[in-house]
Structure 1
Amino acid sequence: MAAVDAMSTTESIDEANENVSALPGPPAINIQDRIHINTVFQDSIDQLAVLGTILPISLEHSAKADYVEKVVGDEISKIVEGQRQLESKFEKLIMEKGDGRDRKVKLGDNDDYYDVTKSIKSSTQALGRSLKTNPLGTDILLKMQDDRGFLQDIMEEAMAEVHEHGSFSCMAESVKTEQKKKSDLLQIIQKEEAARKKVKTLQKQLQEIKRDKEVQIQQRNEMIAHLKDQLQEMKAKTSMEGKYIKKEAEVRVLCTQKKCQQSESELKEDYQGLQSKIDDENRTNNEIETYLRQQHKILEEKVEYWMEKHEKEVEAKQRDLDTLKSNRANDLARLQELTQLYQQYEEVVIEDRLEKEKAKKLEEQKWKENRAAIKIQAWWRGVMVRKRLHSKRKKRKGKGKKGKGKGKGKGKGKGRAKGIGKTRPIKRK
């Protein structure tokens, strides 16, 4: 009975929250109304606390609860098995109805078809009732416990705000937040439906492409068989051509041998002519050798002249080299000074660069932290959306039961909810 009163009080408070969210701004509440409202809040909070001490007992897996869950599961299994048998019978009647039989048999099948359809419909309704009237699901009890805790927290905050400031704007803000979350959830569901339709379209396209590829593979297999036949024909033709070419090559070898003999006799004649030419070349070589010796003597005299000239030029270049060495020493000293100055400038540049890199790393770290915060917020929104979707479905199943509990409540609970209005239950954030 306390649980029923708590649920009635929860609905009343939810109705009050929605009416408050519809107003442009909460009016000031006098002290007497504050006392009355705080009394209602305190009574509701106490009832929710009592409900919180009762619900965990139902969540324990005792032997009795396990037995009841097993009985309910067996009942649902029997209903599902009967559903499958009726569906198989329905499919059998459909197949028989399509056969070419006489008119009388088909009229009898129509009666059977009507009976099976009616049985399937009643079985489906029974299965739905069994699933809806099962109050032993732990997920439903957990949902009720979460909603109870969330509602208790909201009522405590509202009671504190009424006591301190004479308003209950926190309840209106909670309702607005839940409405926004519901609209976001609807948008996500619409996007999911569009994605499912797109997946179905792509699956159909995939099936069509698969059929086309199978046809292409069949055609290619036929082409491969045809090419194999052509390969066998080419092998036979090649063997015959090879024999013919072999005989032809033998004939060509004989002809070539005859030509080589004729060429050999011609080359012998050429050899004799070349031998006489070699003698002439030897004589010419001797004459050229004497001429080259004379030229060698002339060149030796020129070498002596160039050697003397080389020594004089080397002495002149040595003097130039000494001058360059002295200039090089001066340049090295200047280079060392410039190197020290460059190192000083380089240290300044490196320090500046390190400061810039440090600032850049700080900016990147800030960007990464912002990015991580955005991802965590997106993940948290996704978790809350899935949780709201789950709680919406469970609440729709138990909605009728809450209405009956409200009608059986005490008159005191009805008087407290009078003139407040109706709203949907607030879900935990």
Structure 2
Amino acid sequence: MIVMKPHGHYYRISKMDALLFTLSMEVVLLQLRILEGCSELRAQQWKPLGGHERQKREKLLRDRSSVKETVRQTLISVAERGDWQVLRESIEILKRRATSVVTKRINKQQLKMTLMTIIEELKMKSCQFSVELRDADQIIATLRDQRSDEYLNASTRLCYTEKWLQARAESLELECNIKREPLPRTDHEQRVHDELLKAYSLQIAEREKSLEYWHSRYAVDTATINRRLKEKADQFRCVSARRAELQKLYDLHEGEMRAWLTFKKERAARLLREKRLRDSATRIQAWWRGVMVRRALGAFRHLRNAKKLPTKGKKK
């Protein structure tokens, strides 16, 4: 146990404790030497299979050497200073080394996870790039087909245009070679003009008659619609007035209906409460009457002197 003075200094180790601690440290050093010797003998016959096992062995040797050095320094400091603070410092050194080892392991695991994540991302990117490359090949093939189709369409259009121009030229040549017919006579044109005037005048008369008919029809329909609108407006006013009267009547009787419903609920609750009271009183009276009969109280005192009937015995 470590005991401190009032000023924060530690007591010195007693001779017996120092001797026991020295023996313990020497035993630890001896065990470490034995382990190192055994390790050297095994290392002569041991063949590492890879770099990972070699790294493990080197780390084990470093840890052993650091522990050995810490124990030796602790032993020397205890022999020189002879207080408990030396042990405390050695324990703190070992704790820091253990913490650093745990931190390194955690960092190693994190680095492994990061490496696995990066590898997965690279795989996904490679798959995505391969798919995009395949799609690009398909797009290139499609564009090549479109280019060939456009070339064929353009050549077809050019051939069609050349043929059309040749046919048009031939038709113009034929038109120039055909003789024109003579102009029509004047009396024939006058007759055609008169027939057209008659047809136009008949159509104008029909349009005027239909216009008059629709004017009269519009006036009649407008009057009918106005009459119906007035009737609907009168009906709407009557219905609105009736609805207002009914709303007033409903508002007038709403309080009475609420009072009647409240009265019904209170009456039902009162009747139920009275029924429960009657049932409770009946049960209490019946129980008390039974008690009076069994114990011969009050009006049933004469039952004390009455002979009890023999009870039936059990059948053997």
TM band (smaller chain): 0.3 to 0.5
Q: With CA pairs under 8 Å and 6+ residues apart, which has the higher RCO, 1 or 2?
A: 1
* TM-score normalised by the chain length of structure 2: 0.34
Larger radius of gyration: 2
Give 1 or 2: higher helix fraction: 1
Structure 1 length-normalised TM: 0.27
